[in-house]
Structure 1
Amino acid sequence: MVALAVPAALVVAPGFIGPEAPAARPAAPAWQQAPATLSARQGLSPLNESAPVPVPSAVAAQLEPLLKADGGGTFTGLVQDALTGQILFDRGGSDNRIPASNMKLLTAVAALRALGPEHRFSTTVVAGPSANQVVLRGGGDVLLGAGQSDPDQVMGHAGLASLAASTVAALQEKGTTGEVTVLVDDSLFNGPALNPAWEKGDVEAGELAPLYPLAMNSARFSAGVTTGPRPQDSALTTAEAFAAQLEAAGATAGITVADGVQRVTSPAAPQASILAEEQSATVSQQVDLMLQTSDNYLAEVLGRMSAVAAGQPGSNDAATAAVRAQLGELGIPTDSMQLADVCGLALGNQVSARQFAEVVRAITSGTDTRLRAALAGFPVAGLTGTLDARYGDDSTARGAGLVRAKTGTLNSVIALSGYVVDADGRLLVFSFIGNGLAPGAAGNKEALDRAATALAACGCR
């Protein structure tokens, strides 16, 4: 019995004395343990208003050796302290120059002030003058997509497929069946569709196209194609694409679409019954896209829409007048300016580096906070937009990620206007413009990039 009792006790005993204590776990490695303290906050510190202002003579000593033209021509430039407006460098800063695409900075300011950062353009479909007619009415959105509206995008924010589907639903509600005719109303813009100040060769190369108040892909055949020929009548091209989407959407609703699209003989009345509507991305988003990609067509449309917002015609002349008026209201002297267009393609534009620096200063630190919406549009050196492939060599790498500036390039013109935070934490605005340059000379672009890099690295005391 004893021999049997001992093994039995070993089996029963754990029920009374509990399970055996588990073996101690090995200590977790340090990298798996909860931190005892939080790490220091990463990122840029807020700007310090008490940061020292660079000494002008020290800034000039940095910039003068760098701003040298490669093979002919001259550079002008101006640097200011953004907070105080103090001029830190001035080489012909008040001289009028051909600014190329730096003109888009002026247009950005005008659009944000005249229209407002959150404004959107509406593309509508209204009932036509006769039965079974619909009118596609342009409202200034030239970034329409062919497919469904995409709220996460700027290009294609409003889509023709979505507009067509809403139109079919409205027609069904009205009891419309059978064949429908599509008309297009592009009467929001008037005057010459092509600015006579533009060179014929530039238009043929696709730098610009006739201006209309509705277009797909900023008057490109595809959103992914940014060079080469463009549609020469973006209003009709867009209306034809809408008609195709309407045909597809109406197939199951007993609605067909007549061949061909015509312009309305007279604009649709403002009170015409709206069947469907799609809204664009905000003006702020469009301004950012315009600056990042230097989109000429979008710039010209934003200029015309700024004029329309002020109660003026949607024309070339009204656009330049609207830009000038908005700058004047902002307190930037415009008497010496000559504006031939609002995108910078025309050689007749004349603007000084001082005026551009003042515009950048207004955007970064002026009293009109609506202009802050343009900050995201400035290309970042070595990273985004038209500066993404620059600032990669040893002489400019220190400016990568720090310089934020709008580029400008024509055959014998190069410009760079933007802002940097210097090594002491001071916000500086600048504008450098080269005219009469040797076409294609690589050293000119490098000269501007090195100058902006020097400002970013400047303690200059």
Structure 2
Amino acid sequence: MHFGRWLHPLTLLAGLSLLLGGCASVSQTSMASLDHLLADPALNGATVSLMVRDARSGSTLYQHNPRTRLIPASNLKLLTTAAAMDVLGPQYRFATQLLSNGAQQGDRLTGNLYLRGLGDPTMQFADYQALAAQLASLGVRQVQGDLVVDDTWFDAERLGVDWAQDDESTYYGAQISALTVSPNTDFDAGTLLVTARAPAVVGQPVSVEISPATDYVQLSNRAVSGPGNTYGITRQHGTNLLQLSGALAPGKQSRQWVSVWEPTQLVANLFEQALAQQGIQVLGRRVIGGASPTTALLLAEHHSAPLQQLITPLLKLSNNNMSEALLKAMGRKTANAGTAQAGVAAVAAFMKRQGLDPATLSQVDGSGLSRRNLLSSQNLTDVLLATAKQPWFDAWYNALPIAGNADRLTGGSLRYRLRGTAAANNLHAKTGSMAGVSSLSGYITDAGGRRLVFSMISNNHVSDAAPIRALEDRLAVALSQWHD
């Protein structure tokens, strides 16, 4: 097995050895510990792709299996968001619209009312309430036609390619729709927040609160107050039956985000509530998935924050649904098709514009949740180098998790890692984790003030995540302490 070494620019022999796949011989330095790191027993039987490069020149400083394609998990979001900033632009905003094909006569709207979603994963119930209030402010109190809920901006494929069945009810595996709703400012679109509280008396059923409040889901509550910490929620496939079971300690509460089946219909349920709150009556039917006529009149509209702001919660908190919305939005813009396939083609075109070859990787979704995605550390460091040359780089770079920073929307998924080390408040990087998969890729400044880019992807380890993350942290510390 070959392990590359750190190269001084004049170390020709070591560079030639690396190029030919041999094992370079260099003097002992702090960076020689990378060979030792990769020999850790936690990686026995695993495959690792590791590459470290000078961020300014792009020159390779260390490599091990740099072109070996592996499952990247959420490190794929680096590629998706960089492409989105290029294809959609930093000022891109999602829109949600209210339209009608009829006319207003007094307090009556004679035609249909269309609720049209253009993919916004940040919509909350309050935003739908605001749309209903805008309609009410026009004096409308009755809709004599149908309420048409238009999610046709994206296709009807609700899940990504080869997403795991056991992720289906989780917040990170939520279904994708052009018309969706989030219960929180983390923008976990397509989910509901289920809060269970255990009474003081052991054996009594837990109380349950759902936010936003809706009768779109049903509860089967077998959870009780008691010892053992076995409480959990699952959603039965193909339904919105939430099954609560196990024991929750007396006096404690549990908050869990659960995805829904068909988020468009959840939106319809909530928007009807919002209309009723404004005293607006719809006389016709609820129609799901109908397209808004091109001649329909715009009555009210909501816009998301610009993309350069949305990428902060997306990257800091590794938001899957936001990533999938961006992928399909890119497809809609470039090919007038709100599909993952069209979005992947848009990402490939972005890579080509940067002089990169998309044929060296495989992408099937936007978030990295599929195990069909395959990238190498060379691919990811290429993207990191190309992104650093873009006019929007600062916003993207600052949206990456920052190691050891306790603030949740600064440190993100790295806020508990590398505290008290030279990598703290230095490393800007994206994490990635699935069973048997861990990845860390980003930027770090060494002891001499040189910015480095690196990527480490590990697959097929059978240990739990902690030892692999410890190795990634050791890598980050070694890079932060390097000096010529």
TM-score interval (norm. to shorter)? 0.7 to 0.9
Q: What are the residue-to-residue correspondences of 1:46-195 with 2, within 5 Å?
A: 58=29, 60-67=31-38, 68=40, 70=42, 72=44, 73-128=46-101, 131-147=110-126, 159-170=127-138, 172=139, 177=142, 181-195=146-160
Aligned to 2:403: 381
Residue from 414, 431, 454 that aligns with 2:438: 414
Structure 1 Cα separation of the partners of residues 309 and 425 of structure 2:
21
Q: What are the residue-to-residue correspondences of 1:60-459 with 2, within 5 Å?
A: 60-67=31-38, 68=40, 70=42, 72=44, 73-128=46-101, 131-147=110-126, 159-170=127-138, 172=139, 177=142, 181-217=146-182, 218-222=189-193, 228-249=257-278, 251=279, 255-257=280-282, 261-265=286-290, 267-364=291-388, 366=389, 368-383=390-405, 384-392=411-419, 397-459=421-483
Between the two proteins, the alignment pairs up a number of residues equal to 385
Rg bigger for which structure? 1
Aligned to 1:154: none
Cα deviation digits, residues 195-239 of structure 1 (max 9, x gap): 242111122344312211121112221499995421221122122
Matched position secondary structure for 1:97:
coil
Compute the displacement of 1:381 (Å): 0.7
Q: 1:232 to 1:191 in 2, by over 3 A?
A: closer
Compute the displacement of 1:262 (Å): 2.2
Runs of 4+ that moved beyond 3 A: 52-60, 175-181, 222-228, 257-261
Q: Which amino acid aligns with 2:372?
A: G
Structure 2 Cα separation of the partners of residues 359 and 226 of structure 1:
37
Cα deviation digits, residues 130-172 of structure 1 (max 9, x gap): 925311000111111112xxxxxxxxxxx112111111223x2
Instruction: Work out whether residues 138 and 188 of structure 1, in 8 Å CA contact, stay in contact via their aligned partners in 2.
Output: yes
Instruction: Work out whether residues 96 and 301 of structure 2, in 8 Å CA contact, stay in contact via their aligned partners in 1.
Output: yes
- TM-score for the superposition, normalised by structure 1: 0.78
* Greater relative contact order structure (CA < 8 Å, 6+ sep): 1
Identity of aligned residues (%): 28
Structure 2 Cα separation of the partners of residues 363 and 166 of structure 1:
40
Instruction: Work out whether residues 142 and 283 of structure 2, in 8 Å CA contact, stay in contact via their aligned partners in 1.
Output: no
Compute the displacement of 1:371 (Å): 3.8
Instruction: Work out whether residues 71 and 371 of structure 2, in 8 Å CA contact, stay in contact via their aligned partners in 1.
Output: yes
Aligned to 1:42: none
Unaligned runs of 5+ in 1: 1-51, 148-158
Compute the displacement of 1:95 (Å): 1.2
CA-based RMSD of the aligned residues comes to 2.5
- TM-score for the superposition, normalised by structure 2: 0.74
Q: Which amino acid aligns with 2:413?
A: T
Aligned to 1:20: none
Unaligned runs of 5+ in 2: 1-7, 16-25, 103-108, 183-188, 194-210, 213-253, 406-410
| Larger strand proportion of the pair | 2
Q: 1:444 to 1:135 in 2, by over 3 A?
A: same
Matched position secondary structure for 1:434:
strand
